[in-house]
């Protein structure tokens, strides 16, 4: 458990207050003053998903972006086996059931980019040799597009598309709020977020 979360749950103050305590050197664990120097991810990416991810040592920044009430939009590009008809997109846009004991998802935005047969679009999909070796894929329908959500449930994009009959084979997060993925970066590379970008992310 993170120290700031522990202190909040111990009624030592709000997240903002306890973060100030830590910054001022007032937090001591086992006789040692705790300083802020370990980075942690804001949210997560599934192991088979790539794209934009923030790293921070600011618990308040993390809280404001990940708090369900903040509605920070996250946009994903996907390739999937299946079709997205008018009724399917309407269900995604208005809220859909993705689990027996879960509430409907919040309204999402869906934009279909390409539809066709795997045989015609396989070169654009770039989804790996393991898919190519499977049988009976060449005449299957595939679809690509963008799905924008404002929640962070586990495997949410994949589960939403699965609920309308689409099996995701490639997923990439391309934006969080107003901040777009820097396509000039190679996988695993990073850059510093600007103050202007931070302000946009935290705007209500």
Strands (E), the chain: 28-29, 32-33, 40-42, 50-51, 54-56, 74-81, 109-117, 141-149, 167-176, 179-180
Q: Which helix (H) or strand (E) holds 163?
A: helix 156-163
Which amino acids are annotated catalytic? 46
* End-to-end Cα spacing for the chain: 28
Question: CA of 158: how far to CAs of 98, 136, 155, in Å?
Answer: 10, 22, 6
> Residue 147's beta-bridge partner residues?
76, 110
- Pairing label, strands 179-180, 167-176: antiparallel
């Amino acid at each position: 458990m993170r120290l700031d979360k522990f202190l909040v749950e111990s009624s030592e103050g709000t997240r903002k207050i306890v973060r100030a305590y830590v910054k001022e050197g007032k937090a001591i664990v086992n006789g040692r003053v705790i300083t802020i120097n370990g980075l942690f991810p804001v949210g997560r990416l599934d192991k088979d998903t790539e794209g934009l991810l923030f790293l921070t040592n600011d618990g308040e920044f993390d809280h404001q972006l990940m708090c369900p009430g903040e509605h920070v939009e996250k946009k994903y590009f996907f390739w999937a086996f299946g079709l997205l008809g008018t009724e399917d997109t309407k269900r995604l846009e208005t809220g859909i059931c993705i689990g027996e004991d879960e509430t409907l998802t919040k309204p999402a935005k869906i934009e279909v980019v390409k539809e066709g047969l795997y045989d015609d679009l396989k070169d654009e999909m770039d989804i790996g040799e393991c898919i190519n070796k499977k049988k009976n894929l060449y005449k299957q329908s595939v679809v690509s597009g963008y799905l924008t959500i404002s929640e962070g449930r586990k495997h949410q994009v994949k589960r939403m598309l699965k609920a309308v009959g689409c099996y995701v084979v490639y997923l990439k997060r391309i934006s969080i709020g107003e901040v777009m993925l820097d396509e000039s970066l190679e996988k695993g590379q990073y850059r510093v977020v600007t103050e202007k970008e931070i302000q946009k992310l935290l705007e209500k």
